[in-house]
A = this chain, B = another copy of it.
Amino acid sequence: MAKPGRVSGFPEWLPEGQVVQQAVEDAARRVFRLHGFCGLETRAVEPLDQMLRKGEIDKEVYVLRRLHAQESEADSGLGLHFDLTVPFARYVLENAGRLEFPFKRYQIQKVWRGERPQEGRFREFTQADVDVVGRDTLPFHFEVEMAVVMSELLASLPMVPAATIQVNNRKLAEGFYRGVGADDPDAVLRVIDKLDKIGVDATERLLVDEAGLTTTAARSCLALAAIRTPDASFAEQVARLGVSNDLLDEGVRELAAVVEGANRERAGSVVADLRIARGLDYYTGTVYETLLAGHESVGSIASGGRYDSLASDGRQTYPGVGISLGVTRLVSVLLGHGLVTVSRAVPTVVLVAVVDEESRPASTAVADRLRRRGIACEVMPTADKFGRQIRYADRRGIPYVWFPDAAGDTVKDIRSGDQIAADPEVWCPPAEDLDPRVERALPTSDAPPRQEERS
């Protein structure tokens, strides 16, 4: 097999990086479960005709073909899912009769998009989604819970920089745009979505030229998008713009409720940011984005919103709200900028030394007894001199080496050099040594950013 190359946009990590990704996924699972979301996994593929109903995204789908398929059936009609929301909506429709509503689920899986790769953008990446859907109705307070859940998750990861969840509301935006005379509020939203990229002047021109606004209306919309407050005081700033519309008022009330509700539970977790638009057109209420302090350029690492009509079978609708953590994007920032350290790449706590090959079964028996008590062990692969066996452990970051001895076993902490008598039925390592530790890296002003990402 010739030396293989990497595939652009399909990142892989070294074992240390994988420990970081696993820590993020474990934390997500833990926090989601604490909030009562059940775990779900959907197939990786969806029928193309279902997926392509989401207009914007059709360029990016990977289509599947069996290698030896006949010409007449060149494509399977299946594509790899590009997010986890559309498959979840499909799953809910398919199984509605067997689910209890409101149905809360989390889903941690890979998704695929045939996009041009760039920093923070991949062709294959893992998302960790939580959503709740109701049947016909869904209480508003879940829009608060989503922000709280994501804030709790990010705060539980010590190596993640400060994250702020920015919240807006589609009703607020649409009502405002209608209030200033927009005929096509979606067109206004699509232009505002470009504000960060193209700047205020170009946005104002597009609002006039493409969205059909007057210059005065365009400037009002830009003034709205400039509002950002850590509390509900955005409402006064909106009021000062002098636009009157019922939908706007409803959106203002909802946004205030999310900001106040989430900050009551987790102070400082959420800000109102009236620039947030979110590209996907299925959102109908609250929308979320999340930026990492100092790493804003990589884009949002956790996004989502309320959707009222994504899942409907014609008779019933299943309104929902959800938020999605970009696991791969987050991990690529942590690894690529050296923000994280890992105490070791292997789960192994103890290397059991081997005196000679004849006595290997005795070493294996020690390992077996430690494992029964939850202590991860390896048995030394070869009966080398003990100095080499200790170096074997040291190179892997394994903290302890166990020496079986008919006269009484000993275990050595190879970091301190301390060696003590030990019984495999009794000895325990300190709790902090049981699993690899994932911690925030100390800032090193002179170190260049590490390129751990293997894409």
Chain A interface (Cβ < 8 Å from any Cβ of B): 1-7, 10-15, 18-19, 21-22, 33-45, 47-48, 50, 53, 58-69, 75-76, 78-80, 89-91, 93-95, 98-100, 102, 104-105, 110, 112, 114, 124, 134, 139, 141-142, 261, 264-265, 310-314, 345-348, 360-361, 364, 368, 371, 374-378, 381-382, 395-396, 454
Contact = CB atoms under 8 A, between A and B. Distances in A.
- A4, A10, A53, A261 interface centre (most CB from chain B within 10 Å): A4
A232 to B, nearest CB: 15
A131 to B, nearest CB: 13
Given A312-B1, A313-B3, A80 B94 contact: no
**Across the A-B interface, the 4 shortest Cβ-Cβ residue pairs:** A36-B378, A66-B114, A10-B43, A33-B347
Given A66-B63, A378-B35, A42 B4 contact: no
Nearest to A344: B38
Contacts of A67: 48, 58-63, 79, 114
Given A1-B50, A4-B47, A139 B38 contact: no
Tallying the copies of this chain within the complex gives 2
Nearest to A57: B67
- A41, A43, A65 interface centre (most CB from chain B within 10 Å): A43
A376 to B, nearest CB: 5
Nearest to A98: B14
B371 A35 contact: yes
Contacts of A65: 62-63, 65, 75
Given A12-B43, A19-B39, A36-B348, 7 more contacts: A11-B43, A36-B347, A36-B377, A44-B110, A59-B66, A61-B66, A62-B64
- A3, A44, A50, A67 interface centre (most CB from chain B within 10 Å): A67
Contacts of A3: 93-94, 313
A141 B93 contact: no
Given A3-B313, A14-B95, A62 B76 contact: yes
Contacts of A42: 12
- A5, A48, A376 interface centre (most CB from chain B within 10 Å): A376
6 contacts: A1-B310, A7-B45, A18-B38, A18-B41, A36-B346, A139-B381
A378 B14 CA distance: 38
A182 to B, nearest CB: 28
A303 to B, nearest CB: 22
Contacts of A66: 59-63, 114
Contacts of A378: 35-36, 104
B39 A18 contact: yes
Contacts of A34: 347, 371, 374-377
A36 B100 contact: no
B45 A368 contact: no
Contacts of A21: 41
Contacts of A377: 34-36
A38 B347 contact: yes
Contacts of A36: 346-348, 376-378
Contact of A53 (B1, B44, B79): B1
A75 B62 CA distance: 10
A395 B41 CA distance: 22
Contacts of A91: 12
Contact of A80 (B12, B64, B105, B347): B64
A11 B264 CA distance: 42
Contacts of A395: 100
A47 B50 CA distance: 28
